[in-house]
Amino acid sequence: MAISETERRAMSRALELALRGPRSRNPQVGAVLLSPEGETLAEGWHHGAGTPHAEVDALSQLAPGAARGATAVVTLEPCNHTGRTGPCAEALIEAGVARVVYALDDPGDVESGGADRLRAAGVSVESGLQADDARALLSSWLDVRALGRPRVTVKWAQSLDGRAAAADGTSRWITGPEARADVHVRRAAADAIVVGTGTLLADDPALTARDGDALHAHQPVPVVIGSAAIPNGAAVTRHPHEPLHYATRDLGAVLDDLLDRGVHRVFVEGGPTLASAFLAADLGDEVLVYLAPTLIGGPRLAIGDLGVDSIDAQRRLSIDAVERLGEDLLIIARPGARPEGGH
Ligand SMILES: NC(=O)c1ccc[n+]([C@@H]2O[C@H](COP(=O)([O-])OP(=O)(O)OC[C@H]3O[C@@H](n4cnc5c(N)ncnc54)[C@H](OP(=O)(O)O)[C@@H]3O)[C@@H](O)[C@H]2O)c1
């Protein structure tokens, strides 16, 4: 059965409703229930982990039997598993919903199959309506879903000879204003900015995303990892968000806790010790290297030990982009296939 204009409008509305839900381990999903005549009966969205899914949230607003013969327009395939909230496909069938139109197939092994379950119960099902919009809305959650943790970008600035600081620890500035402005734009697209205690103590960074002197509308949460305390009066204590401090070296545990807090995209800004630890643990999904035409020499390498004892074990990356930023280059790379025998 062709998708109607009313269903298209309802999907646009459902995509808006989805955004009312918080970013969490669960996807942001919206739903609109339409009567057989095309009137809106109820709207719903997912309010966060442990709460009813969007379809059930919408159904819960109706009297028993009021959804009989209705069409449910949902941004994600209704789930088919019993988690904390019970399968949505079953709830729709029990409510007597006659038709379901959804945007995006559920990528989960456990949750998917809702469409098949609905069809088996005689419900008319259409998928793919505004799927690109739904995919864009859920892009960070889809990454989290695939990785089982937040997506991590590891960024550093280095001299042409691979140094991240001078011998005395000063590193401001290796790159020029265009490169630094680019970093701020990318910070604003992240949910958290992470530094080690070494960088906190050496540089006293503000960890805000700025456009000149103005703050970007979205500020990632500042995160400090390492046992040293955050000094009173450190610039990061004046950040719009209270800094999170993890006195641990267990990066997996940090990422897990950040995900619980709704962090999907992590921007690691160093320094060399912490950046190396993320890469050594295979926790870097993207590497951004700002390369400046300058020579520093000396001991302060941009990246330290990665556990590569022999060239067979080198970490091959593939380059996604090379951009010129003023005098500097930005190289964007991601882990590629490991050489045979690599680990
Ligand atoms: N060029 C650049 O892009 C750039 C960026 C940032 C900083 N820098 C420069 O880098 C220098 C600071 O470098 P850094 O390497 O000392 O600082 P860092 O990487 O920021 O901090 C190192 C600290 O991180 C903590 N840490 C947390 N998890 C860890 C883990 N899994 N493994 C190891 N350590 C972990 C440790 O603290 P605990 O011992 O307390 O556990 C460690 O001492 C400064 O000179 C700064 O200017 C340059």
Residue 82 maps to which CATH number? Answer: 3.40.140.10
What is the average pLDDT across 140-156?
Answer: 96
Nearest CA to ligand 1 atom 25: 226
Helices (H), the chain: 5-18, 54-59, 88-94, 114-120, 131-137, 139-147, 177-188, 197-203, 251-260, 272-280
Catalytic residues: 55
Q: How far is the CA of 302 from the centre of ligand 1 (A)?
A: 11
Q: Please tell me the distance from the alpha carbon of residue 204 to that of residue 91, in angstroms, as a whole number.
A: 53
Mean pLDDT of the chain: 94
Q: How far is the CA of 186 from the centre of ligand 1 (A)?
A: 21
pLDDT at residue 343, as a whole number: 44
pLDDT band at 326, cuts 50/70/90?
Answer: very high
pLDDT band at 1, cuts 50/70/90?
Answer: confident
pLDDT digits (tens, 9 = 90+) for 168-195: 999 999 999 999 999 999 999 999 999 9
340 in a structural domain: no
- The reply to whether 302 and 183 lie within a common domain is yes
27: containing domain: 5-143
Q: Is the pLDDT of residue 71 over 80?
A: yes
What is the average pLDDT across 93-115?
Answer: 89
Q: Is the pLDDT of residue 245 over 50?
A: yes
- The residue among 143, 173, 190 that closes a domain is 143
Q: Which of 195, 249, 294 to mutate to test the pocket of ligand 1 (most atoms within 8 A of CB)?
A: 249
One-character DSSP codes across 165-201: S-TTS--TTSS-HHHHHHHHHHHHT-SEEEEEHHHHH
- The reply to whether 168 and 302 lie within a common domain is yes
What is the average pLDDT across 139-143?
Answer: 96
- Ligand 1 is surrounded, with C-beta below 6 A, by 156-157, 164-165, 169, 171, 174, 195-199, 202-203, 225-228, 249, 251, 269-274, 277
Residue 46, SS3 per DSSP: coil
Q: Are 316 and 270 in contact (CB under 8 A)?
A: no
Q: How far is the CA of 250 from the centre of ligand 1 (A)?
A: 14
pLDDT at residue 111, as a whole number: 63
The radius of gyration computed from the CA coordinates of the chain, to the nearest angstrom, equals 24
pLDDT at residue 336, as a whole number: 83
- The reply to whether 118 and 186 lie within a common domain is no
128 in a structural domain: yes
Phi-psi map region of 126: left, alpha, beta (phi>0 left; psi -120 to 50 alpha): beta
- The reply to whether 248 and 286 lie within a common domain is yes
- The reply to whether 113 and 187 lie within a common domain is no
What is the average pLDDT across 2-15?
Answer: 97
pLDDT at residue 283, as a whole number: 97
Q: How far is the CA of 287 from the centre of ligand 1 (A)?
A: 17
Q: Is the pLDDT of residue 108 over 90?
A: no
- The reply to whether 287 and 247 lie within a common domain is yes
